[in-house]
Structure 1
């Protein structure tokens, strides 16, 4: 069976995506039902809002504020112009020459909606998706596709959400830890696949950051409690950088330690490092340790001083397989790590190109 996403179909799906973005924007801001113009009945919109408010019941890390932030990030990504610019890179979408494939998706659940991009790519590429949601985020993405089916009828037939195994599929996109990646490679090694492992993000501070930029860095570190691969877990700081400037700028995040799960991690890591005689700085809600490692525990950030920016660039290049993104002057702007665009593919692997090449 051939894919059928020709010009008209593509414009219809683009319009449906933009409409979904508008609904997500309203939910991000906690607005009441916008009216029939949003494409959903009042009770349908209300059920989505209920899921946003109660997502923490399935995952204690999914606070209402963080879920609404994730919806807002997607609303920004799904602006009509952004969608058009993204899809313009793939003229193959208008060529119904490739075969429809069944793509199995194994989604992560460390932060809200982390697997939504993969499912949307399969839908836009005209393939069928068999989706295994994470037990940590079992309801948000399926609910959004129920809404998308209202905007573009037939979506539900193309995207199937599963409780059990993937079953027979032609290709796989799976996201997990380094340990689960080995399992995925073994189990799906005979299929075309994208297998994603653990990654972290870093920031490079050259000493010329403004107070506002350092405050925005707090967003990159603390949003979603630091659980995402785009959260900054390591700082490279210039030799003469005053760490007090950093602590002062991120102080508005001090209430984060009152979250039970985050607070428990903070207390545990602090006690463990004290027992082990580890030297660290403590501002009452975050631990800062001088360490060359990129990954740090929840509630902690590693830092490393440098005197030569060229050596930092060399270190980043050497570790690029383990780094998702870099924040700082000459890199991503401070405060934008959790706002990826549609073309900012995880691990730098073009998911859409992979899917279009399956025919």
Structure 2
């Protein structure tokens, strides 16, 4: 199967996904095989929402729409043009996927197949509804994919390399079990926002998207603020007020109430507005409905801290800062070349012999 065939198949998948938007589903008969897959995809979206209480229809469709935007022939060609993929010796790459947000493992899945390797997928039980159907659609478009895509619920067998995503605890198991093959093993990472106090209301409101999208469960979700000493949190709270309806979600509200009770019983000092608590804490991974913050005295001391803690940070939201940042409101809009943990998966896959 040629690289161009793989690109065309995934770009066609992007067209199929474009029928499912948060504004409504619209069947487009010109999309190849849509008559065979449209109704089943609708059913799988409903199943995903019912299967996992954190997967609202809005968030599932948001993820699908992001992938439909990325999977264009132009985007795919631009992405792979930086690599030598024509002479790949096809190997079997095992992927152990997380399940914290919808289709969280799709980028690994795409990367393995677009590079010309075979994929062996072990899904999380929290996110196992959509990907098998998308795989079936790919096979319908390009039948050669049938021998390249496998799913398993068992321990991996007959694999040549592994990409595994989990927690700091599970990473120790992964390192023990997969240490003898080429691997990418991901641990816990969180994203932060660096505020200077000069942000506009529009920037802070956009930051709310980075905080609340997927209920803050993604590694690209902002879980901590770095703010200058004396920062006025009232400005921040006013800007994020449009996200107040998040507290209407039962699971989020339960976490808010529980964590608030724990903090109050422990006599922690909190700032809160009825749907988000802010707590001063040096940690990066804040509980649901909580945002940690830490103050800094100078840009130099902050830069030193971020460099020291870079293995804990997925991405940094900010503006006009002396290091790589993501624009406000854009953490959940990564490009194909925005690799998790800054590890170039395609480069890794090209070096497997």
Match of 2:131?
A: 141
Count of aligned pairs = 348
Match of 1:238?
A: 228
Match of 2:147?
A: 157
How far apart are the structure 1 equivalents of 2:63 and 2:184? 24
Greater mean deviation of Cα atoms: 76-85 or 206-215? 76-85
Is 2:327 the partner of 1:337? no
Is 2:201 the partner of 1:215? no
Give the 5 Å matches for 1:86-235: 86-90=79-83, 92-94=84-86, 96=87, 98-235=88-225
How far apart are the structure 2 equivalents of 1:28 and 1:293? 36
Greater mean deviation of Cα atoms: 235-244 or 335-344? 235-244
Match of 2:267?
A: 277
Offset of residue 73 of structure 1: 1.3
Offset of residue 293 of structure 1: 1.6
CA deviation vs aligned residue, 1:293-346 (integer Å, no higher than 9, x gap): 211111100112223112111111110001000001041100000111111111
CA deviation vs aligned residue, 1:100-119 (integer Å, no higher than 9, x gap): 21111100000011101111
How far apart are the structure 2 equivalents of 1:209 and 1:152? 48
Alpha-carbon distance change, 150 to 43 in structure 1, aligned in 2, over 3 angstroms: closer
How far apart are the structure 2 equivalents of 1:218 and 1:23? 30
After TM superposition, which residue ranges in structure 1, 4 or more long, deviate above 3 angstroms? Answer: none
How far apart are the structure 2 equivalents of 1:133 and 1:156? 18
Offset of residue 180 of structure 1: 0.4
Is 2:315 the partner of 1:325? yes
How far apart are the structure 1 equivalents of 2:340 and 2:129? 22
Offset of residue 41 of structure 1: 3.2
CA contact (8 A) 1:77 1:340 kept: no
Match of 1:254?
A: 244
Consecutive unaligned residues in structure 1, runs of 5 or more:
none
Is 2:349 the partner of 1:347? no
Output the TM-score relative to the length of structure 2.
0.95
How far apart are the structure 2 equivalents of 1:305 and 1:99? 50
Match of 2:352?
A: 358
How far apart are the structure 1 equivalents of 2:71 and 2:206? 23
CA contact (8 A) 1:230 1:337 kept: yes
How far apart are the structure 2 equivalents of 1:342 and 1:162? 26
Q: CA RMSD in A?
A: 1.3
CA contact (8 A) 2:224 2:292 kept: yes
CA contact (8 A) 1:106 1:132 kept: yes
CA deviation vs aligned residue, 1:61-101 (integer Å, no higher than 9, x gap): 011000001111112222332211110011x212x2x4221
Give the 5 Å matches for 1:8-157: 9-29=2-22, 30-35=24-29, 37-90=30-83, 92-94=84-86, 96=87, 98-157=88-147
CA deviation vs aligned residue, 1:111-143 (integer Å, no higher than 9, x gap): 011101111111112111111011001121111
CA contact (8 A) 1:33 1:46 kept: no
CA contact (8 A) 2:270 2:279 kept: yes
Offset of residue 23 of structure 1: 1.9
Identify the match of residue 267 of structure 1 among 232, 257, 261.
257
Is 2:282 the partner of 1:288? no
Output the TM-score relative to the length of structure 1.
0.94
How far apart are the structure 2 equivalents of 1:80 and 1:126? 17
CA contact (8 A) 2:47 2:129 kept: no
